[in-house]
Structure 1
Amino acid sequence: MAEEQSKTEGAPPLTPVAPEERNPLLDVLRGFALLGIIVMNMPGFSVPDGIHALDEHYFPRFYDRAAETVTSIVFAGKANSIFSFLFGLGLTVQMQRAEASGARLTPLYLRRVAVLFLVGAAHAIFLWNGDVLHTYAVLGLFLLALRRASDRLVFGLIAIAFLAPTVRSMIGLLLQEAPPHPRSFWVAMAHEHMRIYSTGTYLEQIGARLAVFADAYAMIRIGHGMIWWYLSVFVTMLLGLYAGKKRLLEDVAENLPRIRKVLWISLSLGIAASVGFSLLFEFRPMPPPEGWTWYGFFAELLFRVNRPLLCIAYIAAIALLLQTDRGKRVLLVLASPGRMPLTNYLTQSLIATTLFYSYGFGWYGKVGPLLGTGIAVAIFAVQVVWSRFWLARFRYGPLEWLWRAATYGKLPPMRLAQTPAAPVPVSPTASGS
């Protein structure tokens, strides 16, 4: 830290990335991830978490179960993994810009993640308890400490973060440990949250969200709860850090053979794992058994395997498709929402909770997976149109602009500079007619 300070004494501060300096591949990836996130978050908006502990499927119709399975295969764990990958990669971009300008990275980065943590905490408490932003902010501190780590250390940490949940599950299974909560706890929570979010008051809903977070973080001390979520996110965040340090996504054309090879290996293995855990989840025993089971162990293992593999496969596939004219025409539609990821992520929660919670339309518990998927796609389609409209006039999304202002300590220019139209020459004949 002292070395960084001495080398950059008097260096000019970093400034926000201008729109024309952005990598369109990263914006398309963010847009694709936003689509996957709203699709997979929809059950979290519309039904309580404990719904899967009930004696039978809450939405038993074949089309709802089919929609649940398809969306799980395509998006479950993949969308937030792409975001966490890009978060890790983003640190390397900031490092490269800091080194090029001679500016100090650490103070800027710490302010950036501090603002992100506060935004995420507010989102989790006042709007929806499925927030991931505060998780990124906490892990971002570890990422900063590892920014100059060797490749061997990075991959060693990836292996530990990936294997630790499997080892913990194996220990619990072999010792037949009692679960942290009996199934009756989750059933009671499901019924209570159904009441609170469908007919309860806003203050009750805040209380319910705080109770969920308090329980999830308290479980860390006994080897359960949020610790495994953090490790899962850290795997793909570290993969992004490695990819950014190697500049793997900066010149796709030069790395086509390697990207194709990575695509087919990760896609084939990832799809197999994704189909496996999705089918195991869909056809799980009813009522769900108490405690640790081999069935649950293999379902969770396949989910953990599928997450980084399909994250890599999707990134590789989108990078390759953007090398073709047809791929550009289709995928660049996702770039506009991807340029305003914070704004779109939070407005997804605002729109969805307004539709489902008691202070809005009160659809909580009434929308099945098929209709929920349609609503999610409709919300994202509106965001595509809205983002294009906004970015035709402004340099940043509204929340991105505020985030930059808080990070850099000054207001970046917001409105796009309007180039005046060149005067049309008028011929003497036309002027006299």
Structure 2
Amino acid sequence: MDSTSTPVPAADTGARPVDSSERLILLDVLRSFALCGVFVSNAYVHLSGRGFLPKEAADALMSTRVDVVTDFLFTRFVAEKAMSTFSFLFGLGFAIQMGRAEARGSSIVSVYTRRLAVLLLIGLTHLFALWYGDVLNLYAVMGFVLLLFRKLPDRNLIVWSLVLIIGAPLAVTAVMTLVPLLASSPEVAQEAARAKMARLAEIRSQTLAAFQSGSYLTTAKANAAFYWNVFLKPMTAAHALITLGRFLLGLLAGRRRLFHDVEANRPVFRWILGWGLGLAVLGNGVGLLVDYLLRIGVFSKPALWWRLLNQSVWEVGVLGLAACYVAGLSLLFLRPRVRRFLLVWAPAGQMALTNYLCQTVISQLVYYGYGFNLLGKLRPLPCLALMFGLFWVQILVSHLWLARFRFGPVEWVWRSLTYRKLQPMRRAPAREADVASAA
């Protein structure tokens, strides 16, 4: 089933935004599901304040079996899987834009460079004005690197993506773990680690108090300080390389035009579903088994070899389960009844940038001191259920907005600055003849 419509005419050589008739609706659906997972994950892990609580307060939120099970299910089935899918779709979008540029006989570099520069500006504004966990600035920076890979053969893209996704966390973790041990005695390294943990606990306590203060300026200052002192760390480099690896998988899928005709590529999606399930079981199974063996004392604590391999094994599970989600939803999209339900999600994905930024505002109004001040007060299940419900509000608002406008408001700014021309915002009213024929 081909979810595209009329391709860009060959005579149209001017760069311009994608018209609504040219969109791959399935990608909007996938983007919306990923966006829902990102919303829930960011709120639960970061914006709800769980990570800033002292151990006793954090344990109090996990005191029942429901809490433990909910947290386990979130960690294994949602955490990082949504962001992995979101990154994959970013690379896929790049491939589609590159294909359109080649169809016009022009280069993608100039337009895409402006597009990334504007995205970087939006991301940095979001980062320092609202939330330390902004991902847009990272996407923009890695997007510039992605340009360097655009002409690589498919086989090389696969190799590079796996090296970056699995090898990067192993290399960075090895440097972070082994260098302090080699530079000094184990006792000195342990003492430095204890001092670092104490300092980190102090920063978290100060940041929590600032976020609860009810003052935006105090919150913004603490947010920037936390980003610089804590969030921006060596593992950020690993995360950036992993993100680039996910981009490359999206670039490969877009180059192969897998999502332009899912029906014709049904065997490929079934293959991805099977292999994704295998990787998900392998990554999560190994992780659970080693954690259990560590807990019962079969392995010494902390096991150095597992500290080195843990993140890479985790990424295998993330990659596998994200692949299952993408392939499974794509195959379900071929079924007319399921398709009608999935199409309800599409508008939220069509204005994903606006919704992503609004999610930070919504979460802070729920949790921070200048909102309902629920920071560190919600147990796992109510927290996840609340954010999932609020995402459905975003779906509703997206439907209402796109019924009248061509783009989300931030998408409009992004496109206008990218193409250096104000884009038409309102949808043209339906002509009487069109309405009559539709009736």
Which stretch of the first structure deviates more once superposed, 97-106 or 317-326? 97-106
Alignment partner of 1:65 out of 65, 68, 71 = 68
| Distance in 1, Cα, partners of 2:359 & 2:301 | 35
| Distance in 1, Cα, partners of 2:93 & 2:316 | 24
Report what 2:48 is aligned to: 46
Report what 1:7 is aligned to: none
Gaps of 5+ in 1: 1-9, 426-433
Secondary structure at 1:76's aligned position in 2? coil
For 2:167, the aligned partner's letter is: L
Task: Determine whether 1:206 maps to 2:220.
Answer: yes
Alignment partner of 2:253 out of 238, 243, 249 = 243
Q: Following superposition of structure 1 onto structure 2, how do residues 158-307 of structure 1 map, counting pairs within 5 Å?
A: 158-161=161-164, 162-170=166-174, 177=181, 178=189, 182-199=196-213, 201-215=215-229, 219=233, 224-274=234-284, 277=287, 293-294=304-305, 296-297=307-308, 299-307=310-318
Q: How many residues align?
A: 409
Deviation for aligned residue 1:393: 1.4
TM-score by length of 1: 0.86
Residues 335-366 of structure 1 show CA distances to partners (whole Å, capped at 9, x for unaligned) of 11011100111111111111111111211111
Residues 244-282 of structure 1 show CA distances to partners (whole Å, capped at 9, x for unaligned) of 112122221112122112202212321453466479889
Residues 310-358 of structure 1 show CA distances to partners (whole Å, capped at 9, x for unaligned) of 2222111111111111220221121110111001111111111111111
| Distance in 2, Cα, partners of 1:388 & 1:166 | 43
- Contact 1:54–1:187 (8 Å) recurs in 2: no
Task: Determine whether 1:344 maps to 2:355.
Answer: yes
Cα pair distance change 1:322/1:63, threshold 3 Å: same
- Contact 1:27–1:338 (8 Å) recurs in 2: yes
| Distance in 1, Cα, partners of 2:435 & 2:264 | 44
Q: Following superposition of structure 1 onto structure 2, how do residues 388-407 of structure 1 map, counting pairs within 5 Å?
A: 388-407=399-418
Secondary structure at 1:199's aligned position in 2? coil
Q: What percentage of aligned pairs have identical amino acids?
A: 35
CA-atom RMSD in angstroms:
3.0
Report what 2:184 is aligned to: none
Deviation for aligned residue 1:301: 3.2
- Contact 2:97–2:108 (8 Å) recurs in 1: yes
Cα pair distance change 1:410/1:335, threshold 3 Å: same
- Contact 1:276–1:299 (8 Å) recurs in 2: no
Which stretch of the first structure deviates more once superposed, 201-210 or 249-258? 201-210
Cα pair distance change 1:69/1:258, threshold 3 Å: same
Cα pair distance change 1:400/1:149, threshold 3 Å: same
Report what 1:155 is aligned to: 158
TM-score by length of 2: 0.85
Deviation for aligned residue 1:114: 0.7
Cα pair distance change 1:274/1:122, threshold 3 Å: farther
| Distance in 2, Cα, partners of 1:209 & 1:225 | 19
Task: Determine whether 1:332 maps to 2:334.
Answer: no
For 2:47, the aligned partner's letter is: F
Residues 210-269 of structure 1 show CA distances to partners (whole Å, capped at 9, x for unaligned) of 2233235764xxxx2310110121121111111111212222111212211220221232
Gaps of 5+ in 2: 1-10, 182-188
Cα pair distance change 1:334/1:11, threshold 3 Å: closer
